[in-house]
Structure 1
Amino acid sequence: MNNEVHAIDALSYEQRKFPPSAEFKANAIVSDQSLYLEGERDLEAYWARHARELVSWAQPFTKTLEWDLPYAEWFSDGTLNVSYNCLDRHVLAGRGDKVAFYWEGEPGDSRVITYAQLLDEVQRFANVLKSLGIKKGDRVNIYLPMIPEAAVAMLACARIGAAHSVVFGGFSSQSLSDRINDAEAKLLITADGGWRRGEVFPLKSQADEALKSTKTIEHVVVVKRGNNEVAMTPGRDVWYHEAMAKADAICEAEPMEAEHLLFLLYTSGTTGKPKGIMHTTAGYLTHVTTTFKYAFDHKPETDIFWCTADVGWVTGHSYIVYGPLANCATQIMYEGVPNFPANDRIWQIIEK
């Protein structure tokens, strides 16, 4: 018997190269090695330049990197607000009518949300969070489908300095309770359900089950995605739309220290207990704002961007919410999977 094991990379080779077209190269934001060489010459100066050019600061920084192994602090004496960078500054610059999201639900429903509308929604929900006792430094869990309210919740947390912990909507009640307990979250944001492959997955009932083994959650905000009947616990659970109707329209963005915790995001747990990775404000925002602009060659005047990830993963945080919005991008957000009800769903959405 042959017990020899062949790795896949020993059996499959790809030698083809696909260079960009001449037109693409001619119009690219970066068309040579100059950016790479700049970073190679002086890494700190490279990031300091981009932090000053691409990010708006309440208090400008004078320190770029303080490195004391294994700890690093970026821009530590500066203050800023991520929500302001993603929303307010674009509206103040006259781009409030620019589309932030073309949202497409799996059943075919759709919404168009401008930057001004998104800012309004975020300010109101930040006030909802405050009314429920959430303040700077608190942790908030988000357990939602791919709907605009997921981005609203994240940005509202950032606006008031509460750290969010997004849990992928496909995770079990046990996975949710583990993450709530580890983060010691005070509030959970979920929905009556969400669509995936033609079926509604029961987020609220999963959340209720998870909360049986948690002690820190004081309130649950429930978004009405469909018309699904769910159990609401009096005194704990509130409907998103009802709370938003009562919320004040203005909530100023609060300046945060550069190293203030922006969000916790847990590893998948495939190699052990999930680990909560801490992402802080200034370094993370500078990185995703810069990489989105250059890696995707983004041109806000003409491009419509679509990252098909889920906000439950770091790719969704970085290239659906924070990176694109900081660059005033117009993008698509899609609720379901890109091959349902047929393999051409992704092309149907692009054509639309």
Structure 2
Amino acid sequence: MSDSEDTQLEARLAEQEAFEPPAEFVEQANVSDDSIYEEFEANWPDCWERAADLLEWETDYDEVLVDDDEPFYEWFVGGELNASYNCLDRHLDERGDELAIQWEGELGETREFTYEGLHREVNEFAAALRELGVEEDDVVTMYMPMIPELPVAMLACARIGAPHSVVFGGFSADALATRMNSADSEYLVTCDGYYRRGDPLDHLSKADEGLSGVDHGTTAVVVDRLGDEHDHDLGEDQLDYNELVADHAGAEVDPVTRDAEDMLFLMYTSGTTGEPKGVKHTTGGYLSYVSWTSHAVLDVEPEDTYWCSADIGWITGHSYIVYGPLALGTTSVMYEGTPDYPDKDRMWEIIERYGVNQLYTAPTAIRAFMKWGSQYPDGHDLSSLRLLGTVGEPINPKAWKWYYKHIGDESCPIVDTWWQTETGGMMITTL
């Protein structure tokens, strides 16, 4: 590091400013009392019962934490539950008609899933997976962009006790094959294609190439995203998603009871420093943690419309687009495309249209917004926003202040979060 870089770093570290949250935010916040810090310090690990209390358990746990075989910790030992039930079934009586997922495609088309509607399609696809031969503890791989069928497939797997392994849709065919071989996964859910900057992109050919590198037999389910934009013939071991769901219309699948320590999903690290490593996240500890951090850090309430702009192909999307928000019964926004198509105000247009209350995005994106200019957010009503968040990398002071001023109107607290694939949820953050 050069002397000038040293000087810049020291200046950044020395820069200190305080931005207190507005009193009205503190009054309504899910966590508003500093005593939580002392409570957690004094009552570790039993303090995590408050996280478990956000869920419904089929069998109560006996111990919060068993740590006598470090580092192989076990959380909520003896407890039993189902993640799909906690994200869907338990909300049906009070929130069945409320939106679970608000999806917007890059071309502007929208699809809305109420909790009842999402529950129905998850059950139908769960029944289809069972008919295909998927059994409890079989790993089902998913290789898709940001389309609603991705969380449907994830929750369907969770329902029948089959861990899912989502591979980021932008990864190569070789990356898909490597992960399927490592997981010994015989099942793939993918799609024909998706849109980027208005153009249809072929995805199925890449999936087919990846499957050719898998060293065991496979069955693939293909979602028709592009319709008439893309003609494709399904292979011998490939099935049409829409036909499968239609064939199981109205099916109801009882959620499989899972031990708290049973695997919910497998998430591979990016592999930038070597071979990708499969990280297993368990059902009870993971779901409790992402529910509680969504509630406590992001201040998510069932009545909110919440948007995490990450991709579900990464851990952030798993935790804070799918499992955390849906376990709390809120509305989670999903967007398929890029933030600058057809113009650089697409994100602010979405926030205004759906009345988004929390925005959780990356500093890289914020710096791009800064470069494009404040005229884009300033042209939209962003007054529905109550809280802002950042994830994925440190945020520099200049970007933080721009975010605070132009997106939050100097009235939204910003929670800057640090965590990683291995932790599954936020580890260091402000409250």
* Rounded Cα–Cα distance in structure 2 between residues aligned with 1:3 and 1:329: 48
How big is each residue's C-alpha offset from its partner over 1:182-215, in whole Å with a ceiling of 9 and x where there is no partner?
Answer: 1111100000101223232322110100111102
Equivalent position of 1:78 in the other structure: 79
SS at the partner of 1:6? helix
**1:16 to 1:3, Cα distance in 2 relative to 1, 3 A:** closer
Equivalent position of 2:415 in the other structure: none
Q: CA deviation at 1:271?
A: 1.1
SS at the partner of 1:349? helix
Equivalent position of 1:44 in the other structure: 45
Equivalent position of 1:138 in the other structure: 138
Q: CA deviation at 1:238?
A: 0.4
Equivalent position of 2:293 in the other structure: 291
Could you tell me the TM-score, scaled by structure 1's length? 0.95
Amino acid at match of 2:321: I
Amino acid at match of 2:83: V
The answer as to 2:341 corresponding to 1:340 is yes
How big is each residue's C-alpha offset from its partner over 1:111-162, in whole Å with a ceiling of 9 and x where there is no partner?
Answer: 1110000000000000111011001010111011101110000000000111
How big is each residue's C-alpha offset from its partner over 1:88-113, in whole Å with a ceiling of 9 and x where there is no partner?
Answer: 0000x331001111110001100111
Equivalent position of 2:198 in the other structure: 198
SS at the partner of 1:208? helix
The answer as to 2:90 corresponding to 1:63 is no
In the alignment, is the contact (CA less than 8 A) between 2:82 and 2:159 conserved in 1? yes
SS at the partner of 1:54? coil
SS at the partner of 1:64? strand
Q: CA deviation at 1:40?
A: 1.0
1:258 to 254, 257, 260: 260
Equivalent position of 1:282 in the other structure: 284
Equivalent position of 1:109 in the other structure: 109
User: Mind listing any 5+ residue stretches in structure 1 that lack a counterpart?
Assistant: none
Amino acid at match of 1:46: C
The answer as to 2:147 corresponding to 1:147 is yes
Q: CA deviation at 1:217?
A: 4.4
SS at the partner of 2:33? coil
Q: CA deviation at 1:218?
A: 2.3
* Rounded Cα–Cα distance in structure 1 between residues aligned with 2:125 and 2:2: 60
SS at the partner of 2:266? strand
Equivalent position of 2:396 in the other structure: none
Q: CA deviation at 1:4?
A: 5.3
The answer as to 2:272 corresponding to 1:270 is yes
In the alignment, is the contact (CA less than 8 A) between 1:188 and 1:217 conserved in 2? no
Q: RCO greater where, 1 or 2, for CA within 8 Å and sep 6 or more?
A: 1
* Rounded Cα–Cα distance in structure 1 between residues aligned with 2:201 and 2:184: 25
Amino acid at match of 2:108: G
* Rounded Cα–Cα distance in structure 1 between residues aligned with 2:352 and 2:216: 46
* Rounded Cα–Cα distance in structure 2 between residues aligned with 1:22 and 1:15: 21
In the alignment, is the contact (CA less than 8 A) between 1:310 and 1:316 conserved in 2? yes
Equivalent position of 1:224 in the other structure: 224
Equivalent position of 1:174 in the other structure: 174
SS at the partner of 1:111? strand
In the alignment, is the contact (CA less than 8 A) between 2:144 and 2:169 conserved in 1? yes
* Rounded Cα–Cα distance in structure 2 between residues aligned with 1:261 and 1:59: 17
In the alignment, is the contact (CA less than 8 A) between 1:79 and 1:258 conserved in 2? yes
SS at the partner of 2:45? helix
SS at the partner of 2:5? coil
Amino acid at match of 1:172: S
In the alignment, is the contact (CA less than 8 A) between 1:143 and 1:203 conserved in 2? no
Over aligned residue pairs, what C-alpha RMSD do you find? Answer: 1.6
Amino acid at match of 1:15: Q
* Rounded Cα–Cα distance in structure 1 between residues aligned with 2:10 and 2:209: 46
In the alignment, is the contact (CA less than 8 A) between 1:81 and 1:255 conserved in 2? yes
* Rounded Cα–Cα distance in structure 2 between residues aligned with 1:182 and 1:258: 24
* Rounded Cα–Cα distance in structure 1 between residues aligned with 2:4 and 2:142: 43
* Rounded Cα–Cα distance in structure 2 between residues aligned with 1:46 and 1:265: 27
Percent same amino acid among aligned pairs?
48
In the alignment, is the contact (CA less than 8 A) between 1:145 and 1:195 conserved in 2? no
**Aligned residues, how many?**
347
Amino acid at match of 1:282: G
Equivalent position of 2:98 in the other structure: 98
**1:171 to 1:337, Cα distance in 2 relative to 1, 3 A:** same
